[in-house]
Amino acid sequence: MTEEFAISVKGLTKVFGDRTVVDNFDMQVPKGAIYGFLGPNGSGKTTTIRMMCGLLTPDHGSGECLGYDILTEQSQIKENVGYMTQKFSLYEDLTIRENLDFICRMYRMKGRRARVKATLADLGLSDRANQLAGTLSGGWKQRLALAACMIHDPALLLLDEPTAGVDPKARRDFWDEIRRLSAAGVTVLVSTHYMDEAVQCDFIAYIAYGKKLIAGPARQIPEMIGLHTWRVTGPNVSEIEHLLRAEPGVEQVARFGQILHVSGTNKAKLDAVAAKFKSDKNYKWVRKEAELEEAFIYLMAGATDNFQGVGE
């Protein structure tokens, strides 16, 4: 692995029973980047993350994480990575301070008391240091989990759906902290299905039911798909929404309140649709640059569930 990548894996494959959960997956995460790992629930994101950080051995494939081989140097990877799971996994019958002290003991850290004190201050937890973790709200549990991930100064953070179930303000505060860590040189790989989080990322990989569909700089994803979009506004867009969905060249109609984003990959056909409907002066058509929102919905709609039909 070249020194520019924190993670570089190729051909990762994991099979459970007769289902391929991760299928020939490649990824390269630049050092210091915030890398978004997107996809619908059940797409194999968590399994892929666990293979990359040494918690799960792939059936096929190879790669390195922080310069360590994911097949033979899993212990070294675990020592240098902070992994935040979807579900709060600290001890609810211990205080915040006790949980952080326990993590320090696990990593055999010297000067534990000072390190815990500094971490409490750094994450704004000092005033709650003696509060039982089980009594915390979702946002404060999230902050404690991040503190536990960071207390040993890892070079890489792996965050698996870190803001699921927390309120919008807690999510904003969390992302402020992630940007601060990234600016300090920490590489962050975060799995999410929230669009407002995807736009915070420098790079994005999209996985759908075990297969990587696309990856690259976030701002280039719509262009890589080849998506074109028109913005339609009017007094009652419901009246033309169903008509547009039936038009050749319209591959997607995404509704945002009383606004429609009408998209397709064939620019000429989409422009012809726009020209046809512009005659109705009740609606205003404006060409817009396709953004991550449209790209995300487009990819989601085209994904096929590899567990479809199970149990039927």
User: Could you tell me the sign of the dihedral formed by the alpha carbons of 282, 284, 290, 291, in that order?
Assistant: negative
Identify the pLDDT of residue 311. Answer: 39
Residue 180 tokens, joined: 């601060």
Rounded Cα distance between 309 and 208, Å, is 16
pLDDT band at 200 (very low <50, low <70, confident <90, very high): confident
Task: Determine phi and psi for 273, rounding to 5 degrees.
Answer: -65, -45
Instruction: Look at 59-63, 79-83, 116-120, 292-296 and tell me which has the smallest mean pLDDT.
Output: 292-296
Alpha-carbon 296 to chain mean position: 12
Task: Measure CA 307 to chain center.
Answer: 21
Q: What is the pLDDT of residues 158-184, one digit of tens each?
A: 998 888 777 788 788 888 889 999 999
Over residues 31-44, the pLDDT tens digits come to 999 999 988 878 88
Answer yes or no: are the C-beta atoms of 22 and 29 closer than 8 Å: no
Environment class of 75 (CB within 10 Å of its CB; exposed 0-12, middle 13-18, buried 19+): exposed
Handedness of CA 73, 78, 79, 82 (dihedral sign): positive
Question: Contact at 8 Å (CB) between 211 and 40?
Answer: no
Q: What is the pLDDT of residue 197?
A: 81
Q: What is the mean pLDDT of residues 116-133?
A: 94
pLDDT of the residue at 210: 87
Structure-model confidence comparison of residues 234 and 310, the more confident one: 234
- pLDDT level of residue 303 (50, 70, 90 thresholds): low
The CATH 3.40.50.300 portion of the chain extends over 5-220
Mean pLDDT of 208-219: 90
Is the predicted pLDDT of residue 70 greater than 80, yes or no?
Answer: yes
- pLDDT tens track for 243-302: 999 999 999 999 988 999 999 999 999 999 999 999 999 999 999 998 888 888 888 776
Tens-digit pLDDT profile for residues 94-118: 999 999 999 999 999 999 999 999 9
Average pLDDT over residues 194-200: 81
Residue span(s) of the chain under CATH 3.30.70.920 come to 228-289
CATH architecture assigned to 5-220: 3-Layer(aba) Sandwich (3.40)
Per-residue confidence band for 5, with pLDDT thresholds at 50, 70 and 90: very high
What pLDDT, on a 0 to 100 scale, did the predictor assign at position 272? 96
Q: What is the mean pLDDT of the chain?
A: 90
Q: What is the pLDDT of residue 208?
A: 85
Question: For 228-289, which CATH class?
Answer: alpha beta
Alpha helix stretches (DSSP H) within the chain: 45-52, 74-80, 96-106, 112-122, 138-150, 168-183, 195-198, 221-225, 238-245, 267-277, 292-302
In whole angstroms, give the CA distance from residue 284 to residue 46.
43
